[in-house]
Amino acid sequence: MSIAVKNVLVTGSNGFIGKNLCEQLGKIENVKILNFNRDTPFNFIEKNIERIDFIFHLAGVSRSNNTEDFYISNCDLIKSIVDLLKKHKRSIPILMTSSIHALTDTDYGKSKKMAEEVLQNYDNAFVYRLSNVFGKWCKPNYCSVVATFCYNISHGLDIVVTNKNNKLQLIYIDDVVEEFIKVFKTGFSSNKKDGFYYVRPVYEVTVDELSKKIEDFKKKISSSDFLKTNDEFTKKLFLTYLSYFN
């Protein structure tokens, strides 16, 4: 007896989280990924709306010189998707990535908060407020201090350490992907608080501690001690550091 194919729409599939998620989704039998990115026309979704079984909405903008970009990419797109689902009377599960910055007064934060509000009255949504995500394929010198430090230090470039005592809340990309796939398979997550979902564990580290850890990796690049450690954060950070040599 053949198992029905599950068609999964992934918006932002070329992004950092999208690439890592699609890599793992591609290993699941009978899953077909429908990729939607910046240059994909919106009618691609409507053409496939009757056969989509699950939506990972990861598309968005975190940095731009044009304020409107935040609201168009982070809010308007998910509103258009929800309107399309209502038009076709479909209640497809949607897992959307928001951010802990939705609690801030920046245009990025406000646009994420508006996107969350779009899904408040949608009865089949998982809205994840993510901390700062680190791991392989994260773009350096953009909006991730982990990626920037790992890339620059591994390539012999200088790093600028400011606000040394600022505390970062970090989550690892493999933990994010594992959580998302669990929801895709089971339709359930226990990591819910006050109406939003979260990825665990969260690692807290100061900017200064982070830079020193990564500098230690460079000094001991031939050592396997970092992979044998029981400190899960150090191990995950070291694997991230190694990824920037490729």
User: Which is it for the CA torsion 162, 59, 180, 107, positive or negative?
Assistant: positive
Nearest-CA neighbor of 60 among 101, 23, 105? 101
Find the DSSP H helices in the chain: 16-25, 43-48, 67-71, 77-87, 107-118, 145-154, 173-186, 207-219, 225-228, 232-243
Clarify whether 108 is annotated catalytic.
yes
For the CA atoms of 119, 181, 198, 212, what is the dihedral angle to 10 degrees?
A: -130
Choice among 108, 122, 197, 244 that is catalytic: 108
Nearest-CA neighbor of 98 among 125, 116, 80, 119? 116
- Say how many CA atoms lie within 13 Å of 201 toward its Cβ: 7
- If you compute the radius of gyration of the chain from its CA atoms, what whole number of angstroms results? 19
For the CA atoms of 170, 175, 180, 185, what is the dihedral angle to 10 degrees?
A: -160
- Three-class DSSP category at 78: helix
Query: Which residue type is seen at 188?
Result: F
Q: Which residues are catalytic?
A: 108
